Chain A
Amino acid sequence: MKTEHLSLSDLTNIYRIMLLSRKFEEKIVELFHSGKTRCFTPHLGIGEEAVSVGAFYGLSKQDLISPHYRGATAAWLVRKLPATELMCIYLGKKSTGLANTMAVQWTTNMTLNVIGMASSILGGGIEIAVGAALGAKLGKTGQVVVNSFGDGTTNRGNFHEALNLAAVFRLPIVFVCQNNQWAMNMRVAKAVTVGKISKRAVAYGFPGITVDGNDVLAVHQTVQEAVQRARDGLGPTLVEAVTYRMSPHSERDPDQYRAEAERRKWRRKCPILRLEATLKAKGMPQEELLNIQQNAADEIAKAVDEALSRPDLTPEDRLQQWSAIYREIYI
Chain B
Amino acid sequence: MAELTFREALRQALREEMRRDPNVYLVGIAIGSYRRGGVFGVTEGLLEEFGEERVIETPISEGAIIGSSIGAAMLGKRPVAEIMDAEFLVTCFHQLVYEASQMRFFTSGEAKVPLVVRTAFGATVNAMPIQQQSPESWFLQSPGLKVVMPSTPADAKGLLKAAIRDDNPVLFFEHKKLYDIRGPVPDGDFVIPLGRAEVKREGRDVTVIATAWMVHEVLEAARRLGSRGIELEVVDLRSILPIDKKTILESVKKTRKVVIAHEAKKTGGVGAEVSALIAEEAFEFLDAPIIRVAGPDLPMPFVPSSEDIVQAVESLLRA
**A331 vs chain B, min Cβ distance (A):** 8
Q: A124-B95, A161-B61 are in contact. Are A131 and B68 (CB under 8 A)?
A: yes
Task: Please state if A132 and B74 are interface contacts (CB–CB under 8 Å).
Answer: yes
User: What 1/0 mask marks residues of chain A from 105 to 149 whose CB sits below 8 Å from any chain B CB?
Assistant: 001111100010111010010111111111110110100000000
Task: Please state if B105 and A118 are interface contacts (CB–CB under 8 Å).
Answer: yes
Question: Which of A35-43, A209-217, A281-289, A318-326 contacts the other chain?
Answer: A318-326
Task: Please state if A135 and B75 are interface contacts (CB–CB under 8 Å).
Answer: yes
28 contacts between A and B (CB under 8 A): A101-B109, A102-B106, A102-B107, A108-B106, A121-B99, A127-B95, A128-B74, A131-B70, A131-B74, A132-B74, A134-B68, A134-B71, A135-B72, A135-B73, A135-B74, A135-B77, A136-B75, A139-B75, A139-B77, A158-B64, A158-B94, A161-B63, A162-B64, A168-B58, A169-B56, A325-B108, A326-B143, A330-B146
Q: Which residue on B lies nearest to A128, using beta carbons?
A: B71
Q: Interface size bucket, B side?
A: 35 or more
State which of A102, A109, A119, A164 has its C-beta within 8 Å of the C-beta of B59.
A164
Whole-angstrom CA separation of A133 from B77 in the bound complex: 12
**B284 vs chain A, min Cβ distance (A):** 27
Greatest chain B CB density within 10 A among A110, A121, A135, A164 is at A135
A254 within 8 Å of B (CB atoms): no
State which of A104, A133, A158 has its C-beta within 8 Å of the C-beta of B71.
A133
Whole-angstrom CA separation of A165 from B72 in the bound complex: 13
User: What 1/0 mask marks residues of chain B from 278 to 303 whose CB sits below 8 Å from any chain A CB?
Assistant: 00000000000000000000000000
B134 within 8 Å of A (CB atoms): no
A315 within 8 Å of B (CB atoms): no
Whole-angstrom CA separation of A100 from B195 in the bound complex: 31
State which of A127, A133, A168 has its C-beta within 8 Å of the C-beta of B70.
A127
Instruction: Give the residues in chain A near B77, CB-CB below 8 Å.
Output: 134-135, 138-139
**B146 vs chain A, min Cβ distance (A):** 8
Task: Please state if A328 and B109 are interface contacts (CB–CB under 8 Å).
Answer: yes
Whole-angstrom CA separation of A133 from B110 in the bound complex: 19
Task: Please state if B72 and A131 are interface contacts (CB–CB under 8 Å).
Answer: yes
Q: Which residue on B lies nearest to A162, using beta carbons?
A: B64
Q: A109-B107, A118-B103, A326-B143 are in contact. Are A162 and B68 (CB under 8 A)?
A: yes
Task: Please state if A119 and B94 are interface contacts (CB–CB under 8 Å).
Answer: yes
Instruction: Give the residues in chain A near B64, CB-CB below 8 Å.
Output: 127, 130, 158, 161-162, 164-165
Instruction: Give the residues in chain B near A126, CB-CB below 8 Å.
Output: 67
Instruction: Give the residues in chain A near B104, CB-CB below 8 Å.
Output: 325, 329
B69 within 8 Å of A (CB atoms): yes
B268 within 8 Å of A (CB atoms): no
B129 within 8 Å of A (CB atoms): no
Task: Please state if A132 and B72 are interface contacts (CB–CB under 8 Å).
Answer: yes
Instruction: Give the residues in chain A near B53, CB-CB below 8 Å.
Output: 138
Instruction: Give the residues in chain B near A124, CB-CB below 8 Å.
Output: 67, 94-95, 98-99
**A123 vs chain B, min Cβ distance (A):** 8
Whole-angstrom CA separation of A155 from B126 in the bound complex: 39
Instruction: Give the residues in chain A near B108, CB-CB below 8 Å.
Output: 100-103, 321, 325
Instruction: Give the residues in chain A near B98, CB-CB below 8 Å.
Output: 117-119, 121, 124
User: What 1/0 mask marks residues of chain B from 46 to 64 whose CB sits below 8 Å from any chain A CB?
Assistant: 0000000100101101011
B43 within 8 Å of A (CB atoms): no
Instruction: Give the residues in chain A near B242, CB-CB below 8 Å.
Output: 330
Task: Please state if A330 and B195 are interface contacts (CB–CB under 8 Å).
Answer: yes
A97 within 8 Å of B (CB atoms): no
Q: A138-B25, A164-B61, A165-B61 are in contact. Are A131 and B109 (CB under 8 A)?
A: no
Q: Which residue on B lies nearest to A163, using beta carbons?
A: B64
User: What 1/0 mask marks residues of chain A from 288 to 331 whose CB sits below 8 Å from any chain B CB?
Assistant: 00000000000000000000000000000000011001101110
Greatest chain B CB density within 10 A among A104, A325, A329 is at A329
Task: Please state if B107 and A108 are interface contacts (CB–CB under 8 Å).
Answer: yes
Whole-angstrom CA separation of A135 from B22 in the bound complex: 12
Give residues of chain A (154-208) contacting chain B, Cβ–Cβ below 8 Å: 157-158, 161-162, 164-165, 168-169
Whole-angstrom CA separation of A326 from B110 in the bound complex: 13
Task: Please state if B71 and A117 are interface contacts (CB–CB under 8 Å).
Answer: no
User: What 1/0 mask marks residues of chain B from 73 to 116 whose CB sits below 8 Å from any chain A CB?
Assistant: 11111000000000000000011001101111111111100000
Instruction: Give the residues in chain A near B111, CB-CB below 8 Å.
Output: 108, 110
**B172 vs chain A, min Cβ distance (A):** 16
Instruction: Give the residues in chain B near A168, CB-CB below 8 Å.
Output: 58-59
Instruction: Give the residues in chain A near B306, CB-CB below 8 Å.
Output: none
Q: Which residue on B lies nearest to A120, using beta carbons?
A: B98
Instruction: Give the residues in chain A near B195, CB-CB below 8 Å.
Output: 330
Whole-angstrom CA separation of A235 from B109 in the bound complex: 32
Q: Which residue on B lies nearest to A106, using beta carbons?
A: B106
Task: Please state if A128 and B107 are interface contacts (CB–CB under 8 Å).
Answer: no
The 10 closest A-B pairs by CB, nearest first: A131-B71, A127-B67, A135-B75, A131-B68, A119-B98, A135-B72, A161-B64, A101-B108, A118-B102, A161-B61
Q: Which residue on A lies nearest to B242, using beta carbons?
A: A330
User: What 1/0 mask marks residues of chain A from 69 to 102 whose CB sits below 8 Å from any chain B CB?
Assistant: 0000000000000000000000000000000111
Whole-angstrom CA separation of A121 from B100 in the bound complex: 13
B144 within 8 Å of A (CB atoms): yes
Instruction: Give the residues in chain B near A326, CB-CB below 8 Å.
Output: 143
**A152 vs chain B, min Cβ distance (A):** 16
State which of A103, A132, A169 has its C-beta within 8 Å of the C-beta of B107.
A103
Q: Which residue on A lies nearest to B101, using beta carbons?
A: A118
Task: Please state if B68 and A127 are interface contacts (CB–CB under 8 Å).
Answer: yes
State which of B73, B99, B168 has its C-beta within 8 Å of the C-beta of A329.
B168
Whole-angstrom CA separation of A109 from B59 in the bound complex: 30
**B96 vs chain A, min Cβ distance (A):** 11
Task: Please state if A104 and B106 are interface contacts (CB–CB under 8 Å).
Answer: yes
Whole-angstrom CA separation of A127 from B95 in the bound complex: 9
